[in-house]
Structure 1
Amino acid sequence: MSSIVLELQKDLLDKDCDILQALRKAHVIAVKLHLKEFDTWIQNELNGYKLEDENLPDYRQIKGTLKAKNPYRGWIPAVITDKNNQAILNEVPVFEPISALIDIEKKAKDGNFYYSYSPELIMKLCQYANTPKYMEIALFISTINITSLIETVKNCLLEWTIELEGKGILGENMTFNEKEAESAKGISQQINNYYGTVVNGNVSSSQIVSGNNNTANFNEASALNAVQEIKESLEKELLPGEDLDCAMELLEDISQKIEQKKKPNLLKAAFVGLKDFAVSVGADVTAALIFAKMQGLFY
């Protein structure tokens, strides 16, 4: 009798593994075992993540090199003089489904592709880079980053099949019995800070909770430092006085919540509100900074 779990394991070990087919097979297994949390991750990899998904895995934060298009010399490095935003602006979250990333990888020239910014954000980037005039700016990314992303997903799936096999969960003839389904609920999965450690089934009695609610590592001092950096970034944004005042009020509210030792999930919601406001008024650089700081504070 054939085992769908061992079939998937064999597929993943093949150097020519079709990651899309592997994810679809993993989706079938997860659904049949009623592993909803793990299947959410699988489907996000297949269909893409929602824009600004706060649970975006770490491996989907891709680094690149900022370049400005000089009319005489072509693309040249764009040096960001603002150290607070330097690292953030050289990184971009990737929400596209794996199929789209594979297509980008195939079409990329010279092993690179680039991420274009909106004209509004380019204006701000030009200010940060101290360019003499408006210049097109883009983030150049090596396709090696996509290869690494895909390999990470493969490794996550492979470790999952190994754990399933170790528990005797094989899925003979593509079916699982009740014992296998029950055993699968106790298998934890580490998915690169997407859910932290996923515990399927009833987690109310478990000591391990999903990463987006895990606040054991929350650091108040780091949060206050983040508030200060966000304040400095807001002051550099070209915002109308009313919008800037509103943003500062939201930031002050966050600061007070930190000092009052409010629960981290309340602080997280406040940071999300500030980020959304920053996006709505065109403070894109600050919004990116808030998003990055939240990754360090809450995930």
Structure 2
Amino acid sequence: MIKELITDITYDKIKLSQGLTRAKLIANEIKNDIFSKWLNKELEGYEYQDEYLPSYRKIWSLIELVMEIPGGRFHTFPVVVPEDMDDKFKESVNNHFIIEPISIVEAQIESIDTSKGYITLPPQMIEILAKPFKPQITLYRGVIRKAQREIGKVHYQSVIELTKQKLIDTLMQLNNEFPNLQNKYEMTEENKNKVQHIITNNIYGNSNPLNIATGNNNVQAVNITSLKSEDVEKLKSYGVTEAEIEELKTIIDTKTRDKPKFVEKTMKWLGGVTASVAGRGLYENIPAITDFIHKLTL
């Protein structure tokens, strides 16, 4: 049963959601609550800010405000949360939690034709997000028409691949330890401990699943070490000043290993630069600058 399931998942003969469903039969054989709970959450979805939510299901995600200005022109600019705002609010704005069941994640991948998709935020969120930008909006006699969150297709694909690897690694180790699991598995204390170690190690790493806090079980590292000369020229062509480029270089040169802090600093930089560019009437360059920073922080 396990070997066939491993083969079907590894060679994409079945969808991951189908593989997780079939794995529930194995969970029933070994009577392990942690494995059963993980399978159920992946198949039924997580709660918002669920303590069991894997770190890779929490992603940095840009929110954009779409503003209409006189003449029927539309311009988008990123939402940068002021430093004095509540930490939980900043986290909810800067991050998106992929809490949907695996079947929905699979459907999202199939429905997105380009490299990224957008989630339109409810109207009540627009007023909250647009409040810090009211002077800028008033200055250009603009009206915010909508707020949208950008989600890269690669993030959904990453959820599928990492979840698949966790399941495959777990099944392979169970099969190695108990080759006749379906017919000869005995619920001895020794076997229960072996199963517990396999499940915990492969699904939650070295963390105790009862003590996991969202986003705290892994520290994401920053890979970029410097701005290339072509990047500098590109930023200049977008209207970014020498001083602003030097500021960005300084942020990168600090070589922080903590990705959330790096993202926070670059987003703060982006907020100042977009305001500067907009003040010079270079609205059309804002999406390109935003996209540049987004790729920088992936």
Deviations 1:83-138 (A, max 9, x none): 46666523111221111121122112423222232323221111244551444111
- Aligned mate of 2:16, from 19, 23, 26: 19
Please name the residue that 1:56 is paired with: 53
Pair 1:136–1:161, CA change in 2 (3 A): same
Do 2:117 and 2:150's aligned partners in 1 also have CA atoms closer than 8 Å?
Answer: yes
Please name the residue that 2:32 is paired with: 35
Are 2:45 and 1:45 equivalent residues in the alignment?
Answer: no
- Aligned mate of 2:198, from 187, 190, 204: 187
CA RMSD in angstroms, aligned pairs only: 3.1
Q: What SS does the aligned partner of 1:136 have?
A: strand
Task: Tell me, in whole angstroms, the C-alpha distance in 2 between the residues paired with 1:194 and 1:120.
Answer: 39
Are 2:146 and 1:146 equivalent residues in the alignment?
Answer: no
Task: Tell me, in whole angstroms, the C-alpha distance in 2 between the residues paired with 1:194 and 1:58.
Answer: 12
What is the deviation of 1:45?
0.7
What is the deviation of 1:194?
9.5
Pair 1:17–1:211, CA change in 2 (3 A): farther
Do 1:5 and 1:161's aligned partners in 2 also have CA atoms closer than 8 Å?
Answer: yes
What is the deviation of 1:184?
2.2
Task: Tell me, in whole angstroms, the C-alpha distance in 2 between the residues paired with 1:195 and 1:53.
Answer: 19
What is the deviation of 1:175?
4.0
Are 2:147 and 1:137 equivalent residues in the alignment?
Answer: yes
Task: Tell me, in whole angstroms, the C-alpha distance in 2 between the residues paired with 1:81 and 1:67.
Answer: 12
Q: What SS does the aligned partner of 2:200 have?
A: strand
Please name the residue that 1:155 is paired with: 165
What is the deviation of 1:74?
4.3
Do 1:66 and 1:78's aligned partners in 2 also have CA atoms closer than 8 Å?
Answer: yes
What is the deviation of 1:193?
5.4
Do 2:48 and 2:97's aligned partners in 1 also have CA atoms closer than 8 Å?
Answer: no
Do 2:81 and 2:93's aligned partners in 1 also have CA atoms closer than 8 Å?
Answer: no
Do 1:56 and 1:194's aligned partners in 2 also have CA atoms closer than 8 Å?
Answer: no
Task: Tell me, in whole angstroms, the C-alpha distance in 2 between the residues paired with 1:155 and 1:75.
Answer: 41
Deviations 1:217-260 (A, max 9, x none): 9xxxxxxxxxxxxxxxxxxxxxxxxxxxxxxxxxxxxxxxxxxx
Q: Normalising to structure 2: TM-score of the pair?
A: 0.57
Do 2:166 and 2:202's aligned partners in 1 also have CA atoms closer than 8 Å?
Answer: yes
- What residue identity is the alignment partner of 2:98? V
Deviations 1:201-224 (A, max 9, x none): xxxxxxxxx3348xx99xxxxxxx
Q: What SS does the aligned partner of 1:211 have?
A: coil
What is the deviation of 1:157?
0.5
Deviations 1:7-52 (A, max 9, x none): 2222232145510111012111012110111111111111112344
Do 2:79 and 2:129's aligned partners in 1 also have CA atoms closer than 8 Å?
Answer: no
* Farther off after superposition, 100-109 or 34-43: 100-109
Do 1:191 and 1:197's aligned partners in 2 also have CA atoms closer than 8 Å?
Answer: no
Pair 1:94–1:157, CA change in 2 (3 A): same
Q: Normalising to structure 1: TM-score of the pair?
A: 0.57
Pair 1:145–1:67, CA change in 2 (3 A): same
Correspondences of 1:243-258 after superposition (within 5 Å):
none
What is the deviation of 1:168?
2.7
Task: Tell me, in whole angstroms, the C-alpha distance in 2 between the residues paired with 1:129 and 1:196.
Answer: 42
Can you give the 5+ residue segments of structure 1 that lack an aligned partner in the other structure? Answer: 199-209, 218-299
Q: What SS does the aligned partner of 1:24 have?
A: helix
Greater Rg, structure 1 or structure 2? 2
Q: What SS does the aligned partner of 1:69 have?
A: strand
Percent of residue pairs bearing the same amino acid type? 21
Are 2:168 and 1:164 equivalent residues in the alignment?
Answer: no
- What residue identity is the alignment partner of 2:8? D
Pair 1:75–1:152, CA change in 2 (3 A): farther
Task: Tell me, in whole angstroms, the C-alpha distance in 2 between the residues paired with 1:33 and 1:192.
Answer: 16
Please name the residue that 1:80 is paired with: 80
Do 1:58 and 1:193's aligned partners in 2 also have CA atoms closer than 8 Å?
Answer: no
- What residue identity is the alignment partner of 1:151? E
Q: What SS does the aligned partner of 1:105 have?
A: helix
Deviations 1:137-164 (A, max 9, x none): 1111111110000101101111102221
- Aligned mate of 2:98, from 85, 94, 98: 94
